[in-house]
């Protein structure tokens, strides 16, 4: 081979390698169905969550099931799940942070009524605190949060809330005036309503796509999909081989 030809071959090989890297990086970032918005404001929306219908044919819903249906308010960039504002969605840990109301009890009555559609997802036992009291296992269907009171709380009012660990720091000034109307709450999400054993006989409606598997460890209802070892990405769309294995 002439030196010039060798150099050209090497350049071509290098260019090809760069394309392979670029494709691998791009495919890792695909988090939504085609034609669906991947963000609302600066919040990422990984499938199975989605907003509205796909803008491309067929105009299917951007979400896997109604419980993953979110609404993006384009005028203030708030992402909403049911009646609550979504702060972030973690597609790997299968968690969603919501802005949840602090219950206020004044003069013998609640003047707000925090509620959450926990029939769909469960309040994370590991990630939240109910003041300093642990949440009972697999807490569901909280229709209103009952008060644990601060002694001599703000004049006639007391506050109670369920909140993400470390999102609330107590200060004695809170006994005079409580500064929060909402605090972050973490919910654990799963797909479907049945566990993995349901799919041993039939793959009908199975949400785990290429190179992923069903996992129902620690779930009380439904299941999660996890990429197989050596693969990465979004298991609900299909996982791709990890870059270090590709090259
Ligand atoms: C999405 O499409 C379905 C039919 O595929 C339709 O019933 C529904 O109204 C559409 N939703 C929106 C928000 O356009
Ligand atoms: C997707 O985002 C664009 C730009 O923010 C917005 O105009 C459009 O309405 C969004 N689509 C849906 C289905 O929310
Ligand atoms: C969307 O945001 C605007 C501006 O903050 C607000 O007036 C409107 O009520 C919001 N819509 C919904 C559905 O939350
Ligand atoms: C509670 O009741 C007292 C006496 O009736 C009143 O002065 C006070 O303003 C009330 N507090 C609130 C927060 O409504
Ligand atoms: C609450 O405050 C009152 C008067 O300010 C005081 O007498 C009482 O001991 C306090 N109670 C507690 C539990 O701190
Ligand atoms: C899965 O669901 C079936 C039927 O609903 C139930 O009998 C079984 O105990 C469940 N398995 C696990 C591991 O939860
Ligand atoms: C299933 O998920 C749990 C976390 O919920 C994780 O620790 C475990 O490694 C997963 N198992 C498999 C086989 O993916």
State the pLDDT at residue 191. Answer: 95
Count CA atoms closer than 13 A to 205's CA, side-chain side.
11
Better-predicted residue by pLDDT, 242 or 154 = 242
Q: What is the mean pLDDT of residues 92-114?
A: 79
Asked if residue 131 lies in contact with residue 143, where contact means CB atoms within 8 angstroms, the answer is: no
User: How remote is the CA of residue 94 from the centroid of ligand 3, in Å?
Assistant: 28
What is residue 101's three-state secondary structure? strand
Residue with tokens 């993953």: 68
How many Å apart are CA 11 and CA 23, to the nearest integer? 18
Asked if residue 160 lies in contact with residue 138, where contact means CB atoms within 8 angstroms, the answer is: no
Kindly state the greatest CA–CA separation across the chain.
92
Asked if residue 65 lies in contact with residue 48, where contact means CB atoms within 8 angstroms, the answer is: yes
Angstrom CA distances, 217 to 224, 225, 244, stand at 9, 11, 28
User: For ligand 7, what atom is nearest to the CA of residue 213?
Assistant: 14
Pocket probe mutation, ligand 1, options 37, 50, 53, 62, max atoms within 8 Å of Cβ: 53
Is residue 52 predicted with pLDDT exceeding 90? yes
173 C-beta closer than 6 A to ligand 3: no
Is residue 102 predicted with pLDDT exceeding 70? yes
Is residue 59 predicted with pLDDT exceeding 60? yes
Asked if residue 82 lies in contact with residue 71, where contact means CB atoms within 8 angstroms, the answer is: no
User: Please, which residues have CB within 8 angstroms of residue 161's CB and are 6 or more apart in sequence?
Assistant: 100, 101, 102, 103, 114, 130, 131, 145, 168, 180, 183
Angle at 131 between CA 126 and CA 137, to 5 degrees: 35
State the pLDDT at residue 154. Answer: 46
pLDDT band at 48 (very low <50, low <70, confident <90, very high): very high
| pLDDT tens sequence across 104-163 | 766 666 666 677 766 688 888 888 877 533 334 334 334 334 444 444 444 556 677 788
Q: What percent of the chain has pLDDT over 90?
A: 43
All structural domains of the chain with their residue ranges: 83-188, 194-237
10 Å CB burial of residue 183 (0-12, 13-18, 19+) is middle
pLDDT band at 57 (very low <50, low <70, confident <90, very high): confident
Full strand arrangement of the beta sheet holding 50-51: 50-51, 69-73, 78-81, 84-90, 95-101, 182-188, 122-123
User: For ligand 5, what atom is nearest to the CA of residue 152?
Assistant: 1
pTM of the model: 0.77
Q: What share of the chain is helix, strand, coil (3-state, %, to 5)?
A: 15, 30, 55
Residues paired with residue 236 on neighbouring β-strands, in sequence order: none
How many Å apart are CA 84 and CA 218, to the nearest integer? 25
171 C-beta closer than 6 A to ligand 6: no
Pocket probe mutation, ligand 4, options 107, 110, 159, max atoms within 8 Å of Cβ: 107
Average pLDDT score over the chain: 78
User: How remote is the CA of residue 215 from the centroid of ligand 7, in Å?
Assistant: 6
Q: Which residues line ligand 2 (CB under 6 A)?
A: 37, 51-52, 72, 74
């Amino acid at each position: 081979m002439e030196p010039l030809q060798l150099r050209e071959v090497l350049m071509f090989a290098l260019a090809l390698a760069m394309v392979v890297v670029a494709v691998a990086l791009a495919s890792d970032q695909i988090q939504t169905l085609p034609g669906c918005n991947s963000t609302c404001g600066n919040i990422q929306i990984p499938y199975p969550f989605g907003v509205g219908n796909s803008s491309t044919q067929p105009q299917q819903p951007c979400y896997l099931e109604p419980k993953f249906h979110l609404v993006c308010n384009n005028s203030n960039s708030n992402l909403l799940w049911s009646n609550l504002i979504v702060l972030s969605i973690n597609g790997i840990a299968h968690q969603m942070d919501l802005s949840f109301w602090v219950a206020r009890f004044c003069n013998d009555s609640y003047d707000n009524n925090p509620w959450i559609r926990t029939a769909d997802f469960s309040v994370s036992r590991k990630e939240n605190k109910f003041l300093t009291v642990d949440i009972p296992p697999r807490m569901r269907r909280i229709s209103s949060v009952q008060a644990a009171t601060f002694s001599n709380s703000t004049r006639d009012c007391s506050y109670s809330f369920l909140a993400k660990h470390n999102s609330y720091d107590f200060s004695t000034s809170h006994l005079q005036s409580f500064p929060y109307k909402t605090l972050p709450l973490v919910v654990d999400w799963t797909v479907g309503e049945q566990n993995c054993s349901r799919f041993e006989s039939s793959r009908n409606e199975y949400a785990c796509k290429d190179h992923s598997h069903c996992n129902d460890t620690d779930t009380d209802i439904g299941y999660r999909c996890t990429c197989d070892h050596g693969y990465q990405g979004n298991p609900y769309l299909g996982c791709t081989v990890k870059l270090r294995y590709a090259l």
